[in-house]
Amino acid sequence: MSYLELASDLVARARKQGADEAECVVREGSQFSVNVRLGEVDQVKDSGSKAIGLRVLSGNRAASTFSSDFSGKGLDVLVKSAIETVRFTSEDPFSDLPEAEQLGVATDPTALRLHHDDVLALTAEQKIEMARTAEAAALEADPRITNSEGGDFRSGWSRWTLANSRGFGGEYSLTHCSLSAVPVAESSGSKERDYWYSVSLDAAGLESPEDVGRRAAERALRRLHSTKVATTEVPVIFEPRVAGSLLGHIFQAASGDAVYRYASFFADKLGEKVAGGNITVVDDGLRPGGLGSTPFDDEGVASRRTTVIEDGVLRSYLLNSYSARKLGLETTGNASRGLAGSPGIGPGNFMLQPGDASPEDIIASVDRGLYVTELIGYGVNLVTGDYSRGAVGLWIEKGELTYAVSEVTIGGNLKEIFKQIDMIGSDLDFRSVFVAPTLKVRCMTVAGK
């Protein structure tokens, strides 16, 4: 019996034993990771797993169970436990599966280029060598690179299968791999670390180990002899690696579960101006090769491209079927779940559309300001929009990067920050599901000495 047949069978058995509706997920996968430090293998992990989860609904009640026991007896217990448990859960009139007409597979999974045999073809020796080469390239880049926290290679494969009692059945598999290096630079009593990484669904999409190592070394070296700056209000530029965190806050604010709880500054703001007119944000679950792409969400709703902010106007929230019912809207196909519990909300490929400015032009536009390369801590209030985070970066004087800055805090309010982004780079960076180019915020408080 295939996993899809198994999931469909458990759904049928749950209904036969009294459930009004049911959905079943099966997850199978493997993970590999290796860390090489100073040329020696420090840690290797190679594991595989499979598990099954069942969620049943009876009236306005829902319950879920999960197990890694695929034996006949284990599956009997799985169904029985879910049916028995649902009687004791609280009623919620919004708990239900998506409507049948909302279910479907948006596209053939192969069109999304999620699964790549070149990842599976890599041997353990090749993975170890890639990690070792990345670290070696960092150590050899400059005499001031004196130590290392290691080179790291990770890869994995997974298959996700879903079936429910409203006629949906689908599955897809995906691969992923990543390579990173974390060197330590030292000079005249100053010691700093930084990192660089590459991530892709296919091995061919990774940057070379040599490039990863050299880039990591360059970033560590430019942080040497960092200093505080006096508290001031200046333009702040976010490099793509950290600009993506601002997109993460937009995603959180636009998530339906935060909106219906009024735990978001986007609540009741549909159709209103929430950002500058140059800001367009989309959630694209169908981008070929995207780290967040899937043919359907975790409720079986077809994935899609949703415009969240268009020319600064909030056009849509991101919703699963539960939050959509709470808000009187339609699901956007953003359900995300594990094996147990009710679905939450997750991103596809959440992107701020690029502009036409080069990073160099954006830096050149600033007479005096901060170029942020790393953020520390989490000081974000999604209800009020208040924003305050530790930052590391480079100081800008007369349009040029000058010296390293650390131990400062940048602050403002997200409702104003999104309206003050006055330059957007062309360098869209697809290293995450939260994707942004270089961004310049007209004015923020930089708190230092």
Supply the pLDDT for residue 40.
Answer: 97
The token pair at 307 is 């415009």
Supply the pLDDT for residue 166.
Answer: 97
The token pair at 108 is 């053939």
Hey, which bits of 324-419 come out as E strands? 335-336, 344-345, 349-352, 368-376, 386-397, 400-413
DSSP code of residue 97: P
CB hemisphere CA count around 441 (13 angstroms): 26
Reported as a single tens digit per residue, the pLDDT across 18-51 is: 999 999 999 999 999 999 999 999 999 999 999 9
The answer to whether residue 300 scores a pLDDT higher than 90 is yes
Who's near 123: CB < 8 A, 6+ residues apart? none
| DSSP letter for each residue of 180-218 | EEEEEEEETTEEEE--EEEEESSGGGSPPHHHHHHHHHH
The answer to whether residue 289 scores a pLDDT higher than 90 is yes
Question: Exposed, middle or buried: residue 92 (CB in 10 Å: 0-12, 13-18, 19+)?
Answer: middle
The Cα 352–Cα 336 span in angstroms is 21
Reported as a single tens digit per residue, the pLDDT across 107-143 is: 988 999 999 999 999 999 999 999 999 999 999 999 9
Reported as a single tens digit per residue, the pLDDT across 198-233 is: 999 999 999 999 999 999 999 999 999 999 999 999
Supply the pLDDT for residue 1.
Answer: 87
Secondary structure (3-state) at 298: coil
pLDDT tier, 449 (very low <50, low <70, confident <90, very high otherwise): confident
Supply the pLDDT for residue 295.
Answer: 98
Residue in 323, 318, 281 with CA at minimum distance from that of residue 303: 318
Q: Give the pTM.
A: 0.95
Class of domain 3-221: alpha beta
pLDDT tier, 263 (very low <50, low <70, confident <90, very high otherwise): very high
* Inter-residue contact 210 to 431 (CB < 8 Å): no
Q: Compute the average pLDDT of residues 392-406.
A: 97
Secondary structure (3-state) at 289: coil
SS3 content of the chain, % helix, strand, coil (to 5): 25, 40, 35
Supply the pLDDT for residue 378.
Answer: 87
Average pLDDT, the chain: 97
DSSP code of residue 432: S
As annotated, the residues of the chain forming the CATH 3.30.2290.10 domain(s) are: 3-221
DSSP H or E stretch at residue 244: helix 240-254
Q: For tokens 């029985």, what's the residue?
A: 80
The Cα 350–Cα 244 span in angstroms is 9
Hey, which bits of 38-144 come out as E strands? 40-58, 61-67
Residue in 225, 211, 148, 218 with CA at minimum distance from that of residue 183: 148
CB hemisphere CA count around 433 (13 angstroms): 16
